[in-house]
Structure 1
Amino acid sequence: MRTIYYRAQRNIRLNGRKLNRILIRLRNILFVIVVVFILFIYKVNQSHETAVMAYISKSAHKFISCEREETSKPYNTNVLELLINKYNSAENIINLDVYGDINRQTIILVILVDKYSTSLKYFLASLSQIKGIEEAFLIFSHSYFDEDVNNLIRKVDFCRVLQIYYPHSLQLHSHKFPGYDPSDCPPDIDMQTAESLNCTGAWSPDIHGHYRNPQFAAKKHHWWWTANKVFENLKCTVNHNGLVVFLEHDFYFMEDLLYMTIYMKNIADTVSHCEFISLGTNSLKNLNFINTYRVEVMTWNHKEHSSVLGFDIKVWNSIVSHYDLFCLIDDYSWARSLYFISLSRRDGKRFKVLHSLTPRAFKIDATAFTNTLNNIEVIENVYQVILLEKQHLDDWFPTHIEVYYKIELEKDEYMIFEYSENNGGWNDPRDKAMCTNMTIRKIKKVLMDMKNEFMDYISEKDP
């Protein structure tokens, strides 16, 4: 029996060693496969990057070749706050001496910028190649102060540029509201736990039972502050009544973006209650490049039409007159909050949009886990967009535009806002109050205008 036992033990050890050797071999083979795959991807990416650089004009290479300065140090919060206030007050417009003053109809592109990224470099490179860009005015709204980003933007020499800085950023308020205050309730605890902790916001979880996440809330605050700043609080736009286009810093553009923007704006002005124009897409899949001259009038949808969104001061006045709907709805998405306004306007009419069936702006941002993979993915996305552009070179700058009305338009008029689809994240009273306070100057102006109109009416009645 003892002999059989020892033999069994020896066989187990031998089998274990064999299994270990097999596993080691499999691991080595897998490692080799991964290395070969990475080298292949890197080689393909290098080839695509070379093709991209060859396609982009040499004058735009300075944006792509611009690298971060590793020696840059973080700012002291107090110093940073002074800098931001200084820059916002100065309203220093770059290249104004070259391209002249902004007029009432100048197309304004408002770009929401966060941190330094590869996509921002290609964004600027593609902007420089848009036909007529020298007539536009770029406003970069920063949610993060970064000298590397500033240095990159200061390389822009193809049009007028203004940089504004969001003064309520998480960078400035990392340990207090609107950042994360140590006394705040953690986002994912339940209400019972929050009450026992007696943390800030314990009695106001969102629609899904979660508590405030500063990173989510910051995006809506930033967009709302930017819109208020551009339409209400800049000296250079005080008399502007042209189109303002909002977009983020991770898009690549077709050369006829401004051509189509102006063309579509002129058409939208002739269409009853058509407030928005939309020219972008968040996906490179299922795109229509057959009829680049077709646009469609439809009910505005935040999922499809918010990535590159243009409207003027009249539409802004309609939006801001419903500031309570925007600021009080429990949703951290600015686009879905606009959608709530659309479905709840006092006149009962939904926002309409003139939408380009073939996009002129393509999202190129990456979602990889490392900077290296992010860079590879961005370059690959740019390469795919350039391939699409080259395949349809004769289809851009259409000499005429066909306008279609979506047949579901009337049905869409009776859509209901589904609260269950809300993102939530916006039920903290502090967020709602801060959002409302951003619009207080406009509210006071509207009330004063109403008072003056009433006094004029009284004086006419009783001379």
Structure 2
Amino acid sequence: MTRYSGNPQVDEYLPAKIESSGSDAVKLDSHVSTTHRNASPFIPDWKDAETFRRDVQLLNHQGFIHNAQRFTPRLTAESIIILVQVHSRPDQLQMLIDSFRKMRYINETLVIFSHDFYSQDVFDVIAKIDFCPYMQIFYPYAIQVYNSQFPGNDPSDCPRNIQKDEARKRKCNNAEYQDFYGHYREAPYSQTKHHFLWKLQFIFENCSLLRTFEGLIFRIEEDYYLAEDTIDYMRKLDRQARIQCPEYKMYIMGAYSDYSRDDYKSSAARKDRWYTGIGRGMAFKKHFWKLFKKCAKLFCLFDDYNWDWSLMHVTTTCIPGGFKILKPVGSRVFHIGICKGFHQNSNCKTADVVNNVQGILSRNRNYLFPEHVYIHQSFALRTYPAVHNGGWADIRDHEMCLRIFNNQSMSTEEMNKIHQKLFS
């Protein structure tokens, strides 16, 4: 039975009815009303923390499927869902979406955009998608909203570079909690790790549409570019892996940086073990989440604001044998965001990076969409120790991370209680 919120603007965007046809399949109802399909989508109010929490809780719970009137994918154990972590780079997001438009089978693929920043420009880019079904979910603890309290920057928090003796004299909140390098937390960096964790927890445990989904979750960033045969190749790789090496349950679909070699002729994928820096574009199933969640404490307490280095720590200390992966020799995922972001390169232009990627794909066009995917014998499976990059010593981040793992929501009042408990 459809539930209504009482807010007409929200009620126009209630989700499509979901029908299950067995434990491994979900189908979107094709008889959804199209009365309001051209109306402006309801967006949460980012100006007030409590209103934002209410709006986000409602929207995330509803899970509205855009374009459901035109596209009705069946989400089976062989399906792929693309999960995009989005921040505030509409120009690069547009390039990613442009690559989506060219991909075969994208009309059958549900794309989920996970937001941690209010940007009308970003929302406008996504709203133009007319070639596939998509959802938008909203990270509920965005520092843009919590801009004067944790998890944003509390005015009484210690500045990043202040010495500990001076911090104690000032009695700033987190004076006792410097990181490995003697620095205090910076909210924009902390948010990335929290957001990474939250969207996985939401997808695997809180999203009603995906509660019985056993297929692949393909996690990417807003500043990636995908080859047009990405979905096709991943389907064939997954099919072959289940026959030939079922213990390999994660796929890395692109190189980390060096993707200029034309290695597409063989259509092969190689065996390896996951480590930070091996590549981009992670595809995994519930098996990954179940293993990862058992190691929550190690992930949440590791002094590194980077989710990937923290995950590296988990794989080397908590998961026997680590995550065994398959990776295509010829990249299907490319990073185009090297000119922007936390680690900026002022000597490059994103358009030039995209042109280079398109040149690689054009030169290898005849080798895309291979009839068969072959799996090479493994390298000597490598192991690497995780290193501390710091930025994650504040016990509030530890507490929040553990609560996200445990699906414990946090209102402003609850956050204040946590703050008082930890620093009183």
Give the TM-score category using the shorter length. Answer: 0.7 to 0.9
Cα 1:176–1:400 change in 2 (3 A) is same
CA distance in 1, matches of 2:259, 2:379: 24
TM-score, normalising length: structure 1:
0.73
- List alignment gaps of at least 5 residues for structure 1: 1-73, 443-463
1:440 aligns with 2:414: no
**Aligned position for 2:71:** 99
1:429 aligns with 2:400: no
Write the distance in 1 (CA, Å) between the matches of 2:296 and 2:240. Answer: 28
Matched position secondary structure for 2:134: strand
User: For the residues of structure 1 that align with 2:288 and 2:307, how far apart are their CA atoms?
Assistant: 16
User: In structure 1, what residue type is equivalent to 2:395?
Assistant: P
Cα drift, residue 149 of structure 1: 1.6
Q: CA RMSD in A?
A: 2.3
Contact 2:274-2:325 within 8 A present in 1 as well: yes
Residue identity in the other structure for 1:417: P
1:262 to 2:238 alignment = no
Determine the structure 2 residue equivalent to 1:301.
275
Deviations 1:193-229 (A, max 9, x none): 2222221111121111111111111100000000001
Structure 2 matches for 1:237-248, cutoff 5 A? 237-248=210-221
Q: Is the 8 A contact 2:161 2:183 kept in 1?
A: yes
Q: Does 1:351 pair with 2:352?
A: no
Residue 184 (structure 1) shift: 0.8
Shift of 1:241: 0.5
How far apart in 1 are the matches of 2:46 and 2:205?
Answer: 29
Could you tell me which of 128, 137, 140 is aligned with 1:164? 137
Per-residue CA deviation, residues 303-342 of structure 1 (Å, 9 max, x unaligned), is 123x200000112111111111111111111111111111
Deviation, structure 1 residue 242: 0.3
Match of residue 77, structure 1, among 45, 48, 55: 48
> Residue 400 of structure 1 aligns with which residue?
372
Question: 2:333 — aligned with what?
Answer: 361
Report how far residue 89 of structure 1 moved. Answer: 2.6
Matches of residues 53-452 of structure 1 in structure 2 within 5 Å? 76-78=47-49, 79-100=51-72, 102-105=74-77, 106-269=79-242, 270-283=244-257, 285-305=259-279, 307-345=280-318, 348-367=320-339, 377-409=349-381, 412=382, 415=383, 417-418=385-386, 421-441=387-407
Alpha-carbon distance in 2 for matches of 1:263, 1:357: 14
Query: Do the aligned partners of 2:339 and 2:347 also contact (CA within 8 Å) in 1?
Result: no
The question of whether the paired residues in 2 share the 8 Å contact of 1:292 and 1:396 is answered with no
Deviation, structure 1 residue 376:
8.1
Residue 185 (structure 1) shift: 1.0
1: CA distance, partners of 2:47 / 2:177: 33
SS at match of 2:66: coil
Classify 1:292/1:168 alpha carbon distance in 2 versus 1 (closer, same or farther; 3 Å). Answer: farther
Q: Is the 8 A contact 2:156 2:173 kept in 1?
A: yes
The equivalent residue for 1:67 is none
> Structure 1 residues 81 and 362, CA, compared in 2 at 3 Å: closer, same or farther?
same
Summarize deviations over 1:369-416 as a string: whole Å, max 9, x none.
Answer: 9xxx9998122111111111211111111122232233322xx3xx46
Structure 2 counterpart of 1:380, one-letter code:
D
| Residue 161 (structure 1) shift | 0.4
Identity of aligned residues (%): 27
Q: Which structure has the larger Rg?
A: 1
* TM-score (ref. length: structure 2): 0.79
Name which of structure 1's ranges 356-365 and 268-277 shifts more when overlaid on structure 2: 268-277
The 3-state SS of whatever aligns with 2:277 is helix
SS at match of 2:317: coil
Secondary structure at the counterpart of residue 279 of structure 1: strand
Amino acid at match of 1:232: E
Instruction: Identify, as 1 or 2, the structure richer in helix.
Output: 1
Residue 441 of structure 1: how far off its partner (Å): 3.6
CA contact 2:46–2:144 (8 Å) conserved in 1: no
Counterpart of 1:256, as a letter, is: D
Question: How far is 1:285 from its partner?
Answer: 4.8
Q: Distance in 2 between matches of 1:158 and 1:262?
A: 20
Does the 8 A contact of 1:191 with 1:202 survive in 2? yes
Which runs of 5 or more structure 2 residues have no equivalent in the other structure? Answer: 1-44, 409-424
Aligned length: 359
Kept in 2: contact 1:273–1:351 (CA 8 A): no
